[in-house]
Amino acid sequence: MIPGTIPPGIFGNNRTMVTPHYAVMPPEGILESRLPGFAKTKVHFHTSPQMGARFAQALLAMEPGGGTTAPREDGLEHFFYVLDGQVEIGVPAETRSLSAGGYVFVPAGSAYTILADTAARVIWIKRRFEPAPGLAAPGHLFGSRQESPRVVKHTTGRAWQYLLGEGRMEMDMEINILSFAPGTYFPFVETHIMEHGLFMLEGQGLYLLGRDWHECWKGDFIWMGPYVPQQFYATGWGETAYLLYKDVNRDVKL
């Protein structure tokens, strides 16, 4: 054995599960990538079309001074959510300093820059925009979790925060934060057309995907394809919350 190395275990034990319809991804198994146009930044891709998703999601681990080396514009729409640290995010005519809980939506066709003032971790979601006939495309939007109202509905102990608004027909996606008091759960098993990307912000719980329950906690990522039966049950001693992407407001393609 090479000095300083850890001997491998006989069996690889982990909570990872990747299927054609859903995936559960603990952070320790998601290796880093590096991208042209990003300096001092490790990119941990959560999901992508290679997995079967119709969007891409990643975690950016940025060193102080890291980020984009020039404005980027790739024809896609983007959403950035700051997990921790401090970053400067710029779009045409506006730049803001964002800390934990801060976010920005960057519309398709708009350039952006992101630079880290401190070590920072940022969730990055991107997809190809699908315009709605007769409606103008949405503009950029800055906000923060702290300023987003909490809406309680369906069950006591479960709250929504609509970071990009709800029912905005010009938008083809929503990004929401769902929060759960301990012991709170979905009132039924959901089976729907929307696709999800879920990042656990805090707490822990049990997620039903298809016919199997999966334990998940802070830092985990879950991809759910359309029509996957799903339900969540919050466990642990404190509040659980996750960031949730879904595609909305567009007709099916035939």
> For residue 153, is pLDDT > 90?
no
Asked if residue 74 belongs to a domain, the reply is yes
> For residue 9, is pLDDT > 70?
no
pLDDT confidence tier of residue 82, bands split at 50, 70 and 90 = very high
Asked if residue 12 belongs to a domain, the reply is no
Q: Which domain holds residue 119?
A: 17-247
Write down the pLDDT at residue 154.
Answer: 79
Asked if residue 147 belongs to a domain, the reply is yes
For residue 39, the domain's CATH number is 2.60.120.10
Asked if residue 252 belongs to a domain, the reply is no
Of the chain, the end-to-end C-alpha distance in Å amounts to 58
Write down the pLDDT at residue 7.
Answer: 63
Asked if residue 123 belongs to a domain, the reply is yes
> How many domains are contained in the chain?
1
Q: State pLDDT tens for residues 99-151.
A: 999 999 999 999 999 999 999 999 999 999 999 999 999 999 999 999 999 99
Asked if residue 28 belongs to a domain, the reply is yes
What percent of the chain is predicted at pLDDT more than 90?
90
Asked if residue 236 belongs to a domain, the reply is yes
E strand residue ranges, the chain:
17-18, 22-25, 38-47, 56-68, 77-84, 87-91, 94-98, 102-106, 113-116, 120-127, 141-144, 151-152, 158-162, 173-180, 196-202, 204-209, 212-217, 221-224, 230-235, 240-247
Query: Which is nearest to 129 in space by CA: 194, 78, 168, 92?
Result: 78
Q: State pLDDT tens for residues 10-26.
A: 666 788 999 999 999 99
Q: State pLDDT tens for residues 161-187.
A: 999 999 999 999 999 999 999 999 998
